[in-house]
Each structure stands twice: as C-alpha cells, then as structure tokens.
C-alpha cells in the first residue's frame, strides 16, 4: 500500500478508504467483502471494485470513532444519524460520479459532498 496522497491524514493501514456518501472508513477488502454498512442498498459495493473506486476515496481527514449513539455531537456534526458504529471521515476529497448522484436523487437520497465545497 502506498501512502502517496495521504499526507496529513490520520489513517491506519487497514482503514484506508472513505465512503463518499456516508463517510464511513474501511479497508478496500471490507468494502469488497461486506460493502458499506450504511449505503450498500443504494451503492452496491460488494464484489464491485469499480464502484468502490468511484464511490470511495483514499484521501480523507479527521478520522473519528462513532459508537452508534445517534445523538452524539459527532453524528450531528457529520449529519449522520442511525448509522452503524465505526470510523468516519470528517472531510473527504472526491465526489460521487454524476450518474450515481442521479441514481441517488431518483431514490430520494440527497448527497452532500463531504469535501468542504458545501457550506451551511
């Protein structure tokens, strides 16, 4: 595993890709074997490395642990609720491809880019 592009990010060797939709951070292997614990029903990562490459990013910042408490300040800050326990990235470099965003829109899911380009 190369660490190019991961300067200033806090990662461990295993947690090296962040889901662009929910921000969960997992290994490539986890995404391939188990999919995203939050988004699998809409993004279908399992056994689909193309989707993993398009919809996850190896470049992210601010890894935080979520313990499953949906009321925690972290989940409010990250705008995630009822998500599984795990590690989440605060800021992710990258955006979902347009066709996937259109798919999500069609399903009533609004995607908020997590790269800092959208301000409240």
Query: What residues between 31 and 50 interact with Zn ion by CB under 5 A?
Result: 36, 38-39
Q: Which two tokens stand for residue 97?
A: 């491809």
Cα–Cα distance, 53 to 39 (Å, whole number):
15
DSSP 115: S
**CA 46, CA 83: separation in Å to the nearest integer?**
18
CB of 56 vs Zn ion, minimal distance in Å: 8
Contact pattern for Zn ion over residues 3 through 22, marking x by CB under 5 A: ----------------x-xx
- How near is the Cβ of 2 to Zn ion at its closest, in Å? 24
Give residue for tokens 């399992």: 46
In the complex, least distance from residue 38 CB atom to Zn ion, rounded to whole angstroms? 4
Q: By CB under 5 A, name the binding residues for Zn ion.
A: 19, 21-22, 36, 38-39
């Amino acid at each position: 595993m190369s660490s190019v592009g991961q300067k200033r990010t806090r990662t461990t060797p295993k947690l090296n890709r962040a889901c662009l939709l929910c921000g969960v951070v997992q290994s490539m292997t986890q995404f391939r074997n188990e999919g995203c614990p939050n988004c699998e029903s809409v993004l279908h990562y399992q056994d689909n490395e193309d989707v993993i490459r398009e919809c996850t990013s190896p470049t992210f910042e601010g890894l935080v642990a979520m313990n499953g408490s949906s009321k925690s300040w972290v989940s409010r800050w990250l705008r995630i609720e009822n998500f599984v326990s795990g590690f989440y990235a605060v800021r992710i470099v990258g955006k979902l491809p347009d066709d996937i965003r259109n798919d999500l829109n069609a399903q009533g899911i609004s995607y908020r880019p997590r790269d800092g380009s959208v301000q409240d």
